[in-house]
Amino acid sequence: LFIHESGGETSILEIERLSFSSEQMITSKFNQERALEYDEFIEESNKFLQEIEDETTKENFSFREIEENEAELRRLKKWLVKIKKRDYFSCETNKEASDLFEECNKVLEEFTEKVYLCEGIVEEKNV
């Protein structure tokens, strides 16, 4: 509907079977596009991890930092969900991006624990 409202045209072509080479070409093109998105996501996730590392090195354990980083992690999560919705052919970079996002979650949890510990809200766990 939006396409027509914008002056564009659409056509639907039902194909029962593509040739092997056509199927490979389409899959490859989709995966190239997703790989670009995942690569950018990975770059931003690494910046997130670097930010946490920098704040930890500076011992900047504050609730403000938690809030800022939680907001950034939510942004990354929404972005990853959008990319995955377009990842029809399971691009190889999907797993790397997903694993990195989990690492971001874990690192933020650890940072949050340090903030609460520094604020005296929780007691240090016996290791």
Q: Is residue 12 situated within a structural domain?
A: no
pLDDT (tens digit per residue) in 80-92: 999 999 999 999 9
Distances (CA, A) of 62 to 24, 58, 59, 67, 91: 51, 11, 9, 9, 38
φ and ψ at residue 7, rounded to 5 degrees:
90, 5
pLDDT of res. 126? 54
Host domain of residue 57: 19-118
pLDDT of res. 20? 85
Q: Is residue 34 situated within a structural domain?
A: yes
Q: Is residue 84 situated within a structural domain?
A: yes
Q: Is residue 123 situated within a structural domain?
A: no
Q: Which residue has the tokens 């910046």?
A: 47
Q: What is the pTM of this model?
A: 0.80
Q: Is residue 62 situated within a structural domain?
A: yes
pLDDT of res. 100? 98
pLDDT of res. 1? 55
> DSSP label at 91?
-
Q: Is residue 44 situated within a structural domain?
A: yes
Q: Which residue has the tokens 């029809």?
A: 88
Q: Is residue 63 situated within a structural domain?
A: yes
Provide the domain count of the chain: 1
Q: Is residue 13 situated within a structural domain?
A: no
CA distance linking residue 47 with residue 19, whole number of Å: 42
